[in-house]
Structure 1
Amino acid sequence: MSIPNLKAQIQNSINQLIRAVWQPRKGLAIAEASVIGLVAAFSAVFLKVGSGWLGTWRVHASHILPPWIILPVVGVVFGYLSGVMVQRLAPEAAGSGIPHVKASLANIPVKLSWRVAIIKLLSSILALGSGLTLGRQGPTVQIGAALAGGMSRWVPTSPDHRRQMIAAGAGAGLAAAFNAPIAGVLFVVEELLQDLSGLTLGTAIIASFIGGVVSRLLGGRSLQLNLQLTTFSNSFSIPEIPFYLLLGILAGVLAAFFNRGLLLSLQLYRRLHVSLPLRVALAGLISGIVISLLPQSFRDNTGLREFVIKGSTNAPLAAMTFVAQFLLTLVAFGSGAPGGLFAPSLILGSTLGYLVGVFEHEVLGVGSATTYALAGMGAFFSAVSKVPITAIVIVFEMTTDFNLVLPLMVGSVTSYLVADKLFPGSLYTRLLLLKGIDIQQQSSVEGVLTKLTAQEVMQRRVESLDVEMSVDEAMQAFSHSHHRGFPVVEEGELVGIVTQTDLLKVREINPQKELTLREVMTPQPVTVTPIHNLSNVLYLLNRHQISRLPVVEGHRLIGIITRADIIRAEADHLNCNNRESGPQAEPSYVVYHTRSPSVGRGRLLVPVANPETAATLLQMAAAIARDRHYEIECVQVILVSRQSSPAETAVKTTPSRRLLRVAEVYGKKWKIPVHTQIRVAHDTAQAILETVKERHINLILMGWKGNTSTPGRIFGDVVDTLIRQANCEVVLVKLAENQQLPSLGNHPATLPIPDFPSSQFNRWLVPMAGGPNAREAIKLLPALVTLGNDPKIRLTRVIQPTETEPDMKVLEEAIRQLMRRRQLASTVVAAPVRAESVPEGIIQLVNNGHYDVVVLGASREGMLQQAIKGNIPEAIASGVDSTVILVRSAISS
């Protein structure tokens, strides 16, 4: 056997071994479910102990200090801290968390990770400790699911396996919260996955059993199941059936109103246009004030249910408890505070059942108010969450009294049917719809194909061929690329497409004739626009039996989309791939914009930030736009605090509009289309990147200080982000003080615009070291030198003093490129300079030769080396008084 064959066989064996080790087998699933159950139990106990300790401290403080002072203050402070933690570190931790779990299990890209679990745990402790009338059971479901989601990323298994582990974590969280393992399993089957497969049941049972057992042990309780919630023996008789039916009807009606009230509360809070921390603080303030006016028993949310069940109340107090708990839960939940609805539902159900039990005792004199209170818990819980089987089992596992089964079944099933008639569908699905998430539509591959557009999936960096390129040159381009076809462009506009098959056919028919792509390409190719959805794209690919489609805006080529891009989008959906990581700023919001005719071959973006340099940058942008037949896009970014939403924050746009109107005047003067917009954002770089994506920008031209004091940054906070992430060409300009036009800060758009100081932009120095960015700098020169009235260009290369025969190929190639422009034929010279370092040589040459402008290339790939060895562009920009222009070529998406 030959050595290459032996190596291939060994490699195949290794790959098979790796696949065998990581294959999602039942043993791996069982082991993972066991760990998930254990971790979920620990987190549930920690949440119970933490929130209980804070709640006890709050109640104790209300006995020492006036309750009308301490309770509102604690509610505001803890509520605000909880909201800040969620908003800044994990926005996914807001609310009960169960809708997020349900969305993730439906393959919606909702983040479930270790960070979400930790923030949910800590913020829930603060929210519950502040006195908000919410429960800890809902958060434990999300915490368990998030822990499972984070753990499943360690094991590279299938998406289905990951979903089953997340469901098992959610079941373990519920089991640990209620000490009810069976209910945890049923909740997974009935509400979350709705799957009865062996692996789903097996993992859910294991995780829920371990979660429930460990929670019992850590909570100081015995594993014996005959420990009842009450010492009273429950009873049930046939004459009571109408009253349990009445209880179910009342629970269904009131639960439907409760669910509608929750949605209305969320909408009312949104209309306040305040940040999450302020909303939660407001809820804490209202709850603190109301609870301080109620009896002392209302200050302990944890013990309120037991207070009712054990018969320590009376009918008027029970009615007051129902009304207060109903309204305060609406106030708390609508704010977005991290907390669940299970505990409030059980309290509301117990008080409603108690009232029906008192009424039945007055009529028949045979029933027990405690039995009705327990049946009411299941009935109201069933009607709110639409999980009747889980509701029955939860109450049964909490009491372990078989006499309760029939009353629970009658009340829970009746309430479920009534509530579903008045409030159809799941509350959690409705909550997701408020956030714009439609599970039924988005959970299927068909939903992905109809939701995503070509603009969101396409490759923005397109390799294209010029229409006048010869067939031989095109063959060379194919030989250096993995693509089987190229778009053909003429002056930036798409005119055709050429494939390998086209070229081979031409070579076979007439190999001697010199042809251009204009003669062999397929004219008027099939194209799509950025707003076409993926289903339309897929239809066209299949209809015409092609592998790629150009994406055009008008006639301008802005991207290309292939079958592989669609498959990648579907795979990301199946894997719940959320490409964002860490705390994310909200998207920017456009509050003002103007549009000109879209007649250019491309777009040049000018972020207008500094009135001192705006005029000079705009005239530079105009020079490039005229040369390349581009449109100009001007953007002003107004920053707002991350505690407020850009879409909901009022801002003053008058100064920004005044500055942008000047840009429009420039456009009319130069006869260049100028578009303007003002964006409200949390982050300047993100707003610029969003503009680049939405407006299909080809080049960014922006000001640069020439240095940065930000630790860990090369060029500055905003510039570093753009250089790394912007897929278009980036040009940075550090203007010399004596080369700036007058400030446009208060420049009326009706006054004459000052002309460019052309005499100060005549002497140009272009250091060359090879690479794509240096070539892009050369391409910009013909446009930029029109800013001067008598331009002179020197191309140079820094060489070591010991170098005897310097390599001049780079300079010679650059000269040939510039000589193609006739107006530059007599203005270009090339000569090397000797120095120990590049910055030293360039700075010395600029100072001695009195150059007005230095044009440099910036390498994206070399930024790490610049951080280690020193930032050459910054060193040059800081060492000279001239204008420095830094160019970075376009990169792939």
Structure 2
Amino acid sequence: MTDYKPEAEVEADSPRGLIPLAVAAVIVGAASGALGALFRFSLERADALRYALVAWAHSGHGAASIVVVLAAAFAAALAAWLVARFSPEASGSGIPHVEAVLHGKAPPASLILIPVKFVGGVLAIGAGLALGREGPTVQMGASIAHRIGTLLGRSASDRGVLLAAGAGAGLATAFNAPIAGAVFVLEELMRRFDTRTAVAALGASASAIAMARLMHGDLPDFHLPAQPFPGFGMTAAHLVLGVALGLLGTAYSRTILWTLDASDWLTRHPLIASPTRRAFARAAVIGAAVGLLAWFAPDLAGGGDVLTQRALVGAGSIAGVTAILALRFVLGSVSYAAGTPGGLFAPMLVLGAQTGFVFGRICFDWFPGMSASTGDIGTFAAVGMAAFFAAVVRSPMTGIVLVTEMTASFTLLLPMLTACFTAMLVPMLLRCPPIYDSLGERAAKRR
């Protein structure tokens, strides 16, 4: 099915060809970084356009809300149609497909995936669907790497390493987090460590970030006020927070799968028998619902970076944030069921930050002296981001490094480790597989 060798058959580490592989990885990273930066620019313009359209609609134009709803429905439907018509592999995150290619279970996608993923991602996320920008950048980076590895005449095993490195470079670019991109390759994609893979991953992530920062800037994605090193007395609180996020992560993983199955069942109708029509109709309905949400509350739609930032600085009440958390929990799974390009990471970070915010606020209300040893509410929000990621994806090191780089804070490493411990333990005891394993198995049954 594919010319990549499964992990068990990848050749042992050898210095032969290491320099060409390293050079190829740097080229892959630079290309992925440039494309990822352009994608981020496009998403920012699309978000600005959505906000401007909503603002125009609220300025008193008659029946203007209908324009907002129809625009979101059309953008989401067009994104889903592009996927169904030209590149079915571009649906959703794309990470399960990258993993299937690396493990010899699926062929690499054709180059058409790149424009479909780019345009479809801008349309879907710009329409307000609760999807992450990292899914498109990861899969586009992997596709670029496959093409560059082929053009440079690299071996099958080296092309697999480059593909993984390109995917990691895409993640690094999406969140301005180079180390997380490299760790993601080793922990989630390859699930093993060898020096050739590490060299390629580091080289690709470094060159991707160099290119992206030249084009987009070098500030961290989120601002977290400086936090003290939490005292040992906070260990129990972080363990409990991990348990809560483990339960929530299990529910979220199962809700995503249930929503995907439900959306397939609901679109089985004789009038929309073709896959393309089903994809168009499903995404149009979901897009219309998201457009209506954007009309009433613009900040609740989209990837959710604004909501994450608010949680990190402690803005909001327990009741208000809990209500938004419940809404985004449903919105994230429904948006993913639309079948458009878009990832899961950014929406997960929102849910983790908001859960941490609510938990921290309750702790501070019940135990007023706690703030003296743990800092402000941002501590729990940041720890919640990493722990929820670990619960759903089951890649704790990637989550910890990702959140640390995104918030430019290193004082919370121990609380993150503590919370991730129980956040991973709970879904494992409940026999809930990592989300990308479940999505991969589901895709394999449909192929």
TM > 0.5: yes
Residue among 180, 183, 186 paired with 1:183: 180
Please give the alpha-carbon distance, in whole angstroms, between the structure 2 residues aligned to 1:95 and 1:318. Answer: 27
Q: Any residues of structure 2 matched to 1:234-383 within 5 Å, and which?
A: 234-271=228-265, 272-273=267-268, 274=272, 275-294=278-297, 296-299=298-301, 301-365=304-368, 366-367=370-371, 368-383=376-391
Paired residue type of 2:153: P
Paired residue type of 2:292: I
Please give the alpha-carbon distance, in whole angstroms, between the structure 2 residues aligned to 1:133 and 1:423. Answer: 27
Distance 1:280 1:141, change over 3 A: same
Which residue is 2:72 aligned to? 75
TM score, norm. by length of structure 1: 0.45
Cα deviation, 1:81-110, whole Å, max 9, x if unaligned, reads: 111211122111111100000000001233
Q: Any residues of structure 2 matched to 1:84-103 within 5 Å, and which?
A: 84-103=81-100
Cα deviation, 1:547-595, whole Å, max 9, x if unaligned, reads: xxxxxxxxxxxxxxxxxxxxxxxxxxxxxxxxxxxxxxx9xxxxxxxxx
Please give the alpha-carbon distance, in whole angstroms, between the structure 2 residues aligned to 1:256 and 1:324. Answer: 17
Paired residue type of 2:333: L
Paired residue type of 2:390: S
Which residue is 2:29 aligned to? 37
Which residue is 1:172 aligned to? 169
Please give the alpha-carbon distance, in whole angstroms, between the structure 2 residues aligned to 1:77 and 1:83. Answer: 10
1:310 positional shift: 1.9
Which residue is 2:399 aligned to? 391
1:125 aligned to 2:122? yes
1:401 aligned to 2:403? no
Please give the alpha-carbon distance, in whole angstroms, between the structure 1 residues aligned to 2:103 and 2:263. Answer: 28
Paired residue type of 1:349: G
Q: Any residues of structure 2 matched to 1:496-645 within 5 Å, and which?
A: none
1:362 positional shift: 1.1
Which residue is 1:59 aligned to? 51
Please give the alpha-carbon distance, in whole angstroms, between the structure 2 residues aligned to 1:232 and 1:70. Answer: 43
Which residue is 1:427 aligned to? 435
| Higher strand residue share | 1
Paired residue type of 2:69: P
Please give the alpha-carbon distance, in whole angstroms, between the structure 1 residues aligned to 2:291 and 2:166. Answer: 34
Q: Provide the aligned C-alpha RMSD in A.
A: 2.0
**Contact preservation (8 Å) 1:234, 1:401:** no
Please give the alpha-carbon distance, in whole angstroms, between the structure 2 residues aligned to 1:344 and 1:384. Answer: 12
**Contact preservation (8 Å) 1:112, 1:145:** no
Bigger Rg, which one: 1
Cα deviation, 1:582-617, whole Å, max 9, x if unaligned, reads: xxxx9xxxxxxxxxxxxxxxxxxxxxxxxxxxxxxx
SS at match of 1:435: helix
Paired residue type of 2:71: V
Please give the alpha-carbon distance, in whole angstroms, between the structure 1 residues aligned to 2:214 and 2:416. Answer: 28
Please give the alpha-carbon distance, in whole angstroms, between the structure 1 residues aligned to 2:403 and 2:143. Answer: 26
Identify which of structures 1 and 2 has the higher relative contact order when contacts are C-alpha pairs closer than 8 Å and 6+ apart: 2
Distance 1:26 1:188, change over 3 A: same
Please give the alpha-carbon distance, in whole angstroms, between the structure 2 residues aligned to 1:101 and 1:146. Answer: 9
Paired residue type of 2:171: L
Distance 1:213 1:260, change over 3 A: same
Paired residue type of 1:199: R
Identity %: 30
1:299 positional shift: 4.1
**Contact preservation (8 Å) 1:82, 1:337:** yes
Distance 1:255 1:84, change over 3 A: same
Distance 1:235 1:27, change over 3 A: closer
SS at match of 2:315: coil
Please give the alpha-carbon distance, in whole angstroms, between the structure 2 residues aligned to 1:130 and 1:240. Answer: 41
| Higher helix residue share | 2
Distance 1:144 1:124, change over 3 A: same
Cα deviation, 1:622-642, whole Å, max 9, x if unaligned, reads: xxxxxxxxxxxxxxxxxxxxx
SS at match of 1:65: helix
Structure 2: stretches of 5+ with no match in the other structure: 1-14, 59-63, 273-277
Paired residue type of 2:198: L
SS at match of 1:308: helix
1:423 positional shift: 4.1
Query: When the two structures are aligned, how many residues end up with a matched partner?
Result: 413
SS at match of 2:412: helix
Distance 1:319 1:71, change over 3 A: farther
**Contact preservation (8 Å) 2:383, 2:412:** yes
**Contact preservation (8 Å) 2:241, 2:359:** yes
**Contact preservation (8 Å) 2:290, 2:301:** no
Which residue is 2:106 aligned to? 109
Please give the alpha-carbon distance, in whole angstroms, between the structure 2 residues aligned to 1:256 and 1:159. Answer: 37
SS at match of 1:382: helix
Please give the alpha-carbon distance, in whole angstroms, between the structure 1 residues aligned to 2:362 and 2:392. Answer: 24
* Greater alpha carbon shift after TM alignment, 272-281 vs 156-165: 272-281
Residue among 209, 214, 218 paired with 2:215: 218
Paired residue type of 1:128: I
